[in-house]
Structure 1
Amino acid sequence: MTAPRAWLIWTIGVFAYLVAVAQRTSFGVAGLEATERFNATAAAISFFTVLQLLVYAGLQIPVGILVDRFGSRAMVAGGAALMGLGQLQLAFADSVPGGVLGRVLVGAGDAMTFISVIRLVPLWFAPARAPLVTQLTGMCGQLGQLFSVVPFALLLHAAGWTPAFLSLAAMSVLAVVLVAVLLRDAPPGHPPRQTAQGLRATGVSVARAWKQPGTRLGLWSHFTVQFSGNLFAMSWGYPFLLSAQGLDAGTVSALMAVFVATAILSGPGFGRFVSRHPMRRSAMVLLITMATALAWAAVLLLPGRAPLWLLVILVVVLAVGGPGSMIGFDFARTFNPSHRIGTATGIVNVGGFIAALVAIYLIGLVLDILHSTGFSQGQLYGLAPFRIALSVQFVLLGIGTVLILLSRRKVRQQMAAQGVHVAPLMVALARQRRDRVERRRSARSRPDATQER
């Protein structure tokens, strides 16, 4: 099943996802230019991203159902086409409503992409490789963000708004062509997709996926770990570093590149961790959550601007949240049957984006309130108002942590009812790993036949 063709299919899917990430994150780089182009407030600019994420999150479960029915090829191609239309609209928009329409189309197309690409993994790769390939998918997709923070940002500043967004539309056209020509839903001989279901059967499928505690554990893991990095990359990170922290554009671009590089490099490590320590996945999620809270607290509690080394630490911690949130999809995969993976993955993928859109909107709202009351002293994106506005994240981190702990308890109760007890299973897995290590050491130390002769 892991023949070269499987890797070709995966590569085409990942390219489409890379393009989707570039489209998703492009507006975060253009936030300051958008404020001038549309003559908009901070809340209005945040509304662009909030509405995009609202469309994205709202479509996750319907897309999960549709990809289970129609397959990845149709959904990925359709998503790329919608994103191309959205960026074309945005390229020529000169008002808030026109720009919002473009971002809605981008959000709808983006919503159709990731779940559809992730669904290819268990169909084309062996179960033992699925966690690593899933992490590689997220890792390679982050290159799209690197495109938005370096070449897109350079083109935006050099050539202007319209040429920059037309370049993104052209990328979508290329993705549509490659997917239509080369992508296939499943290997030859794989059982056909399920036949069309009525609304009642579809509702039953969604309900069963939701009732599975492992799905909810994946949802709240994704909710808690991903949103802070999302709001940083998609909306408020660039103005926070540029205006509040006083960094120059080159340094900000370098920090965003560090964000992408960290997400890429840490992905395989999470994949190996999940494969080797399946009973410690939720512990890793909680560890990342704590690190995120501590990193933001260190930056926001300083009386003045943060030193560059501390901002680098913040960026690295936030970037780790991206591949860390992929653990949520592993919960969906391991606790649901194959015919319901798309639906369960859609439920999980709602989490981080719902949290992100809430946080992005609240941050913009708080910034506007502080500006209107005179607290900002005429600086809409000043350090003092940003310090207060960004603190709304701690509320969401706390809520997510509580829900993770509650869901994990439900999962362990379900496992115990099925005769699987966590502590003995962890001991057994540890013993198996120790035995494998000892066998490898023994094999390396044993003289071969030539030496014996």
Structure 2
Amino acid sequence: MPAFGRQSLLALCTNRWTIFSVASLLYVLSMFYRSSITVIAPDLMADLSLSVADLSLASAAFFYAYAFIQIPMGLVLDHAGPKKTMPGSYLLAFVGVLIFAWAESSSLLVLGRLLMGVGMACSLIGTFKILTIWFGPAHFATLSATVISVGSLGTLASTSPLVLSAQRVGWRSTFVLIAFSHLLLAGLLYLVMRGRPIGDGHAAPSREGGGNRLAQAVDVFRLIVRKRDFWLISAAGFLRYGIYGAVQSLWAGPYLINVMGCSPLVAGNILFLFNFALILGGPVSGYLSDKVLRTRKWIMVMALWGLSGSLFALAVLPVGSTVAVLATLFTLFGFFGSTGGVLYAHVKELMPLTMVATALTGMNFFVMLGAAIFIQGLGGMMQYLYPTASLSHAAFHAAFLVCALLLFLAGIGYVFTRESHAGRG
């Protein structure tokens, strides 16, 4: 190949948009893994003789591993960089997917999910670190919101497409095929990140001894946890994604089918609109934040109150309401839940560059922990209040009202955050 051709190919492969695209596809896989266990639950229980407790533990394992590895992952990303951190992390997740696919016991199933959670813990924050290095701050909110929205394709893929594939080739073969697709993407990410960012003016990662880097990392973390904005934004993230994720991942289906009397097909169509609104709303909210309203703070306040209002409407909606009303409210709920990119942009812009990944992963710890807690907590609450009718209208009425109130309070708390420099224009 001529020298010019080789140089052009190298430039294409190390182009920042190529890096962004591959990292985003890996985040799609992360979103797929989060929710993929739901639709194959009957197969898992039959093949491995799982109890409901076993299945619940396997489902929760990914979220808890993902959450508790966030802060260490942020420290590593800040001090070693994404080029050294992300490919190895994804390799660990690849091993976890294979263990999950070949598991013959509940313990191996849980181990596979744990490794998947640990390995995919870099998927979102690592991509945000890539945006910080390879793109300017003027694009961060739009691109981070785009990553989150594109990731929702993984949630869509974990529904009907996964069911169809499992029916055709079996759930084990399906996950083996996904594992090797995962490995291909991880290898491609390793190759495309070899080049240096064009125009990167940031300092290279420190090459001091490991002990010094660890001490610096601990000092950074201590500085972050003293910042009021970090706690206010993290609390909002905990409630926002905790409640939104619980509805999206589990409770929307029983609400529509058991309470509102929708058929599974109609419920699936409503949830498709729900997820489509999330995909569409991410870039829209990022663009409004970056270019139109030029605010991070007030976008998030409006989004939190919008989530609260739409969930309150679902809580008080009478049984037998029309499909059009249900579809509208779930679409609004999805749209208002699409502002995660703005949330991350806000905390990122309030932190010095050397603290960015640590702050983002610290916040993401609370976000993922919120999902795990609300998925289990809402079910426990409904079972406790209505032990003989835990999937009744009254049970969902109570659960959704509590969640609507918490989201409203989160919006009030967010009013007391500082606006970032980018938000002030």
Please give the range of the TM-score, normalised by the shorter of the 2 chains: 0.7 to 0.9
Q: How far apart are 1:400 and its partner, in Å?
A: 5.6
Pair 1:116 & 2:135 matched: no
The one-letter code sitting in structure 1 at the alignment partner of 2:40 is A
Q: 1:409-430 CA deviation, whole Å, 9 max, x = no partner? A: 3637xx9xxxx9xxxx97xx6x
Matched with 1:230 is 245
Deviation track 1:46-85 (CA, whole Å, cap 9, x = no partner) reads: 4333332121111111111111122213332233223322
Residue 120 of structure 1: CA displacement? 0.7
**Aligned AA for 2:116?**
V
Equivalent residue, structure 1, for 2:310:
295
Moved more, 181-190 or 113-122: 181-190
| Counterpart code for 1:264 | I
Q: Which 10-residue stretch deviates more, 220-229 or 238-247? A: 238-247
> Does 1:213 pair with 2:228?
yes
Q: d(CA) in 2 for partners of 1:328 and 1:336? A: 13
Counterpart CA distance in 2 for 1:185 and 1:320 is 37
SS in 2 for 1:57: helix
Change (3 A) 1:237 1:167: farther
Unaligned runs of 5+ in 1: 377-381, 430-453
- In 2, Cα distance between equivalents of 1:137 and 1:248: 32
Structure 2 residue corresponding to 1:65, chosen from 69, 75, 94: 75
Structure 1 vs Structure 2: percent identity of aligned residues?
20
Q: Which residue of 2 aligns with 1:310?
A: 325
Displacement of 1:346 in angstroms is 0.7
Question: Which residue, out of 1, 10, 19, partners 1:9?
Answer: 19
**Amino acid aligned to 1:409:** F
Distance change >3 Å, CA 241–CA 169, structure 1 → 2: farther
For 2:344 and 2:248, locate their aligned partners in 1 and report how far apart those are by CA, in whole Å. 21
Q: For residue 204 of structure 2, what is the aligned residue in structure 1? A: 192
Distance of 2:376 and 2:76 partners within structure 1: 29
Query: Once the 2 structures are TM-superposed, how far is the Cα of residue 326 of structure 1 from its aligned partner?
Result: 2.0
Task: Give how far 1:104 is off.
Answer: 1.2
Matched ranges for 1:135-150 at <5 A: 135-150=145-160
Contact in 1 for aligned 2:314/2:400 (Cα 8 Å): no
1:168 is the counterpart of 2:178: yes
In structure 2, the partner of 1:329 is 344
Q: Which whole-Å deviations, capped at 9, do the CAs of 1:384-420 have from their partners, x for residues lacking one?
A: 1x752684455455446545644643637xx9xxxx9
Structure 1 residue 370, shift from structure 2 partner: 7.1
1:441 — aligned with what? none
From the CA coordinates, give the structure whose radius of gyration is larger.
Answer: 1
Which of 258, 277, 281 does residue 296 from structure 2 map onto? 281
Equivalent residue number for residue 388 of structure 1: 395
Structure-2 separation of matches of 1:279 and 1:107: 35
In the alignment, residue 28 of structure 1 is paired with which amino acid? Answer: T
RMSD of aligned residue pairs (Cα, Å): 3.1
Distance 1:354 1:261 in 2: 24
1:17/1:62 CA distance change after superposition, 3 Å: same
Counterpart Cα distance in 1 of 2:23 and 2:51: 37
Give the letter aligned to residue 411 of structure 1. Answer: R
* 2:117 paired residue number: 107
Partner of 1:134: 144
**1:149 Cα shift?**
2.1
Equivalent residue number for residue 439 of structure 1: none
Count of equivalent residues: 407
Distance 1:321 1:44 in 2: 34
Q: How many Å separate the matches in 2 of 1:391 and 1:157?
A: 37
Shift of residue 306 of structure 1?
A: 4.6
* CA pair 395-354 structure 1, distance change in 2 beyond 3 A: farther
Say whether the 8 Å CA contact 2:315–2:401 is kept in structure 1: no
Cα deviations by residue, 1:160-180 (Å, 9 ceiling, x for unpaired): 322232233233112222112
Deviation (angstroms), 1:33: 4.3
Distance 2:339 2:259 in 1: 28
Uncovered stretches (5+) of structure 2, i.e. residues with no partner: 1-10
TM-score (ref. length: structure 1): 0.79
